[in-house]
Amino acid sequence: MPSDVESAVYVYAAMLLGAAILGIVAWRLHLPYAVALVLGGLAVEESHVVALPQLNPPVLLFVFLPPLLFDAAFRLDDVQLRSLARPVLWLAVFGTIATAALVGLALFATLHLPLAEVLLFGSIVSATDPVAVVGVFRGLSVSRRLEVLVEGESLINDGVAITLYTAAIGLATSGNADLPSALGLFVREVVGGVAIGAVLGVLFSRITAIIDDHLIEMTLSTALAYGSYLVAQSVETSGALACVAAGLIHGSYGRQVGMSERTRRLLDDLWEYFGFVVNAVVFLLVGFTTNLAALEAAGGPVLVSIASVLFSRVLVILIPPQLLRLTRRIRAVTSKGEQAVLIWGGLRGALTITLALALPPSIADRQLLVEMAFGVVLFTLVVQGMTLSYVIRRAGLAESK
């Protein structure tokens, strides 16, 4: 009789093999990898040929989130990011908060669910996921600047969305809509998380400067990803933002002061692999845990959720530059073609599913919120993800191929 450990290893080995096979299929058919994983996982779930794995919420939050966040932060082009800092921050901070509020209010008006629950759902679907988008961008040779804009927005809005989620959980579980306290919690989590991540990022960067052993430096980098997240969580600040801040500093300042060229390449490969594996597992879990019959039963709320997410994305991308007459730098990245790509490329993915599955059982409409989140992810990944290349070509942003 296999032990629990042996069973877990068997399950994850099978998932990795399945992810690799689906990757080959996606490559041959020119499909976005994330789409192939979701559809493959869904096919396995519907066939009922094997017992599917179930993960506890703490595993999703504490094992998967740090590498997802640190990977994107560490490998992001910091020079391009600085040049696009204003539009990225505008989309990632204002856009995320506005999306959560707009989606929540739309669902409150149409579905008549409790306000705290719909605001919680808004926070779950407020963060974009660049995995499938960037894959399409690279296949069409879209400009690196637009790629960094999408990656930068997603990187920072992950942290903002998780912080909103934490505050909304408190509102939904307490039943007390204490907005000033929720705002105070949000500010404390943001400031505290960024500060902790920045301090640890600088500290670990200085430590790597005194050694020249790529294996030790890779180990330190991994410890920084999980350590920044866990330290921030232990003092009730944002572990997500701490991880993002630590990754950004380690990937920029750390490269300059303490890494040889070989170490830089190896760390890039290490985090690219970690990000790939975690995304593969999470996207497979999307397919594994999606029940088409349950989605059909919740069809009305799911369709309303999809429409509200799309509508909020249109407003966030199109209206602020027109109303507020932002600086030329922000307007420069919002041509009509880029606006269309940013709207249609606002996919939801691994983080949305992770947060939805981590909802506490005490939430009255938990299962409905989970089905709505899954519906949004499936629509954005499959419908938007598979047609994004067409939108890019129509917008005239494909530089080759």
DSSP assignment of 357-369 equals HT--TTSTTHHHH
Model pLDDT, residue 198: 95
- Residue 142 contacts residue 366 (beta carbons within 8 Å): no
Q: What DSSP state is assigned to residue 334?
A: -
| pLDDT, tens digit (0-9, with 9 covering 90-100), for 282-294 | 788 777 777 788 8
- Residue 57 contacts residue 63 (beta carbons within 8 Å): no
Model pLDDT, residue 2: 53
Tell me the C-alpha distance between 313 and 317, whole Å: 6
* Residue 167 identity: A
Tell me the C-alpha distance between 104 and 308, whole Å: 9
| pLDDT, tens digit (0-9, with 9 covering 90-100), for 10-30 | 777 888 888 899 889 888 888
Alpha helices in 50-143 (DSSP H): 57-59, 65-75, 78-83, 85-89, 95-111, 115-124, 131-140
Model pLDDT, residue 386: 86
- Which residue from 39, 18, 120 is spatially nearest to 290, judged by alpha carbons? 39
Determine the 3-state secondary structure of 398 from DSSP: coil
Tell me the C-alpha distance between 36 and 136, whole Å: 13
Model pLDDT, residue 373: 93
- Residue 250 contacts residue 263 (beta carbons within 8 Å): no
Tell me the C-alpha distance between 198 and 313, whole Å: 30
Q: Token pair for residue 155?
A: 């990187």
Tell me the C-alpha distance between 11 and 7, whole Å: 6
Q: Whose structure tokens read 């500093």?
A: 249
**Regions of the chain short of the pLDDT cut 50:** 1, 324, 326-333, 401
CA distances from 259 to 77, 90, 206 (A): 16, 32, 10
Q: Whose structure tokens read 């020079």?
A: 79
- Residue 190 contacts residue 163 (beta carbons within 8 Å): yes
- Residue 63 contacts residue 308 (beta carbons within 8 Å): no
Assigned fold of 4-394: Na+/H+ antiporter like fold (1.20.1530)
Model pLDDT, residue 146: 85
- Residue 284 contacts residue 41 (beta carbons within 8 Å): yes
Model pLDDT, residue 3: 58
Tell me the C-alpha distance between 394 and 72, whole Å: 28
Model pLDDT, residue 50: 67
Tell me the C-alpha distance between 229 and 241, whole Å: 8
Q: Whose structure tokens read 């701490």?
A: 242
DSSP 27-75: HHHT--HHHHHHHHHHHHHHHT-SPPP---HHHIIIIIHHHHHHHHHHH
Tell me the C-alpha distance between 186 and 101, whole Å: 14
State how far Cα 109 lies from the chain centre: 27
- Residue 126 contacts residue 143 (beta carbons within 8 Å): no
Model pLDDT, residue 227: 95
Domain boundaries, the chain: 4-394
Model pLDDT, residue 130: 77
- Which residue from 107, 128, 109 is spatially nearest to 305, judged by alpha carbons? 107
Model pLDDT, residue 125: 94
Model pLDDT, residue 76: 81
